[in-house]
Chains A and B, each alone.
Chain A
Amino acid sequence: MSDIPYRDVDVQGEKPGGRLMEESYLGEKFSIWSWLTTTDHKRIGILYLLSTTLFFFIGGAAATLIRLELFTPAGDLLTDDGYNKVFTLHGVVMVWFFLVPVIPSVLGNFLIPLMLGAKDLAFPRLNLMSWYLNIIGGGFAVWAMLAGGVDTGWTFYTPYSTAFANSHVSLTAIGVFISGFSTIATGVNMIVTVHTMRPPGMGWFRMPLFVWAIYATSLIMLLSTPVLAMVLTLLVTERLLGLGIFDPNRGGDPILFQHLFWFYSHPAVYIMILPGMGVVTEVITCFSRRRVFGYAAMVYALLAIAVIGFFVWGHHMFTSGQSMYASLTFSFLSFIVAVPSAIKVFNWIATMYRGQITFEASMLYAMGFVGLFTMGGLTGLFLASVPVDLHLHDTYFVVAHFHYIMVGGMVSAFFAGLHFWWPKITGRLYPETAAQIAALLMFFGFNLTFFPQYILGNIGMPRRYHAYPDAFQVWHVLSSAGAVILAAAYLMPLGYLVWSLIWGKRAPSNPWRASGLEWETDSPPPKHNFLTNPTIEGSVYDYHPAQEPRREPADD
């Protein structure tokens, strides 16, 4: 990344306005060592971008194998055992090493201090440590894969994982445990930064919604990840030391594992979607040239999702042997979490309403997010209802549902954010047409891949099988064909974004005429972010259509 092209712009000198120029954060030092020991939040963001991209392609390779295997009804490409290991690898890598860190640690790391007008996050060394912990954790997971793989699924359900599985469960669990510390470190850093480092004049309700989204996400990370750490510790000590508390022979209850696991893993779904909501809000308001509709409602919805998300975990366990009264309670609570999610969708649409919408690539991704998230969220209501879930539990309907949220939602949002802030991060403009094509391709490829899976699930195809009756083949073929398009759509940005690093046009400091402090500094920003301390004036989303008279910001 730190290649020559930045050298020529980053000369020390005077700008026409009389501002003293400072070397950009990219141009300061070039050695690998300076990158690996950096405490600059922007460089750590780039390190995270590289590592999450690597993990994305590892997880993506596993997904490719899955779709290839499922192209035909017979289990011909992979053995049943091999298939179990491949989908476990896909789940573990994608959830813990791509989806959880990708927006908070890449975009959040890069942007939170910029949006707050700060020089860095509160604990820069802790920030670097979190990257290393993530890498070490990922290393364990990859080591487990190379050593022979894990076949428990990413959920590590007991008693299979404790008493029967002969694969590298402990190694993988230790990897996830370590990456949990990385998540906690990021969460602590973000919350403390938001609490203590806001500039004068930026009250809580004048923060950009992306900052709010990362704040809410960090709350979930901090309150849920420790329980995952404990349940994995219990799992590993049961396997290695015989300290079994889930062992049925001692009266232990394997369902207790599910309770503790989903106390983390359901809120973790919101760890994987709230940052995406933050990104999409910023993008939609900018390219609609309209102030965000209902700012306060957006904030309260984020916080409500973060809190209510902790009350719904039992909807993963309707068929597990959980008490039916508990199931009904969890079902009701799960319906409630749809309310703040719907508020967000309505507000995005209301923001676009009567806006001067332009269709830059990041806007296309963001609009795709709104549609796919709505679809994923609505099918979530099916699964939250006990009788429907009894029919659909552990079928491809569930697979389709959470891929609509995580891939359709979070990955789209990540690409929206990556394109939106790419000029800020690299100082280069990406080729717009290619990016628009990729965005559309991703939307169509995604729907072709995962919509047939709703149908598959409804007609009875269970998840986690490598062979299936012929009747299901047509839908599986459609899905696999969609996956090919999707793969192409994921590879395209890798091509043109790297291309833009060298041949892309130089970006001005605010190419989208967006509001927000991060656009007030140079692209790429200088090492200490701002040459003069930014001042906060006006409301946070200072967009207004040209033909409308500019109104004073309402009390939002």
Chain B
Amino acid sequence: MTEAHATTAASANHATVSPALASHFHDLRQQHAAADLGLWIFLATEILFFGGLFAAYLVYAVLYPDGFLEAAAETEIVIGTINTALLLTSGLAAALAVKAAGADMRRSVMVLIAVTIGLGVVFLGAKGYEYWLDLGHHLYPTSPDFPLAAPPAKLFWSLYWMMTGLHAVHILVGLGTWGVVLFQTFRRSFSLTDNSRVRIAGLYWGFVDVMWLFIWPLLYLMGRAT
């Protein structure tokens, strides 16, 4: 035990054991590996969570190609594409924040997290406006004035609300996480290099990006070529 600590301390140039090290780990390397692996495994489960939805989309798109192409042409492609750009940019900011945290650049981390959060909030704002427009067009499956005749259109629009809604929930969780990390970074309540917090939040945010990269073509780019 003491030997393990001694080698850690030497390699990390510390005089003492980092306060970030939990008592059941030998050293920070082990602790970081556990945190990263844990989050990656969680992301694998998230892939399968959204995967159930994508499977439903796949089945119905193959069964009713025409109905889906027609229904998909009704989504707000401009807002959807702007949102893609927003998320990619905030993904860049998040990736740089993780990099800055590795170099212990506290000020840089705070700026980049603030940018990430800002872009995420704008994304949600645009999403809300889009929902408002959709409801104005009665594009809700239970609406009596639903504009599309083919029954499968309602399947598409059910999937639209589910996919975008669940994605928005994930954005909200991500924003909450970033908010906490930003506050703690500001308060200097944890060591940027010894803790995994910024990296974990960055990984989660990257995943939210990746999911949107598939939702965007499935819901917005579909059915545009006429």
Contact = CB atoms under 8 A, between A and B. Distances in A.
A and B interact physically: yes
Interface of A: 118-124, 126, 184, 187-189, 191-193, 195-197, 222-227, 229-231, 233-234, 237-238, 241-245, 247, 249-253, 256, 259-260, 263, 528, 533
B154 A234 contact: no
Contacts of A253: 59-60, 63
Given A192-B34, A260-B56, A230 B50 contact: yes
The SS class assigned to the B binding surface is helix
B85 interface: no
A195 B155 contact: no
Given A224-B48, A249-B151, 18 more contacts: A122-B24, A122-B34, A126-B38, A188-B41, A191-B41, A226-B47, A226-B48, A226-B52, A227-B49, A229-B52, A234-B52, A234-B162, A244-B158, A245-B56, A247-B154, A251-B67, A260-B52, A263-B52
23 contacts: A123-B34, A123-B38, A187-B41, A188-B45, A192-B38, A193-B34, A196-B34, A197-B24, A230-B50, A230-B52, A231-B52, A234-B52, A234-B56, A243-B141, A243-B162, A245-B158, A245-B162, A250-B152, A250-B155, A251-B64, A251-B151, A253-B59, A256-B59
A241 B37 CA distance: 36
Q: Which of B56, B63, B142, B159 has the most CB of A within 10 A?
A: B56
Nearest to B64: A251
Nearest to A221: B45
The SS class assigned to the A binding surface is helix
A17 B162 CA distance: 64
B51 interface: yes
Contacts of B44: 222-223
Given A119-B24, A222-B45, A225-B45, A230 B51 contact: yes
B19 to A, nearest CB: 17
Interface string B58-85: 0110011001000000000000000000
Contact of B155 (A122, A189, A191, A252): A252
Nearest to B153: A250
Nearest to A185: B42
Contacts of A260: 52, 55-56
Contacts of B154: 244, 247, 250
B1 A226 contact: no
Contacts of B41: 187-188, 191-192, 222
Nearest to A126: B38
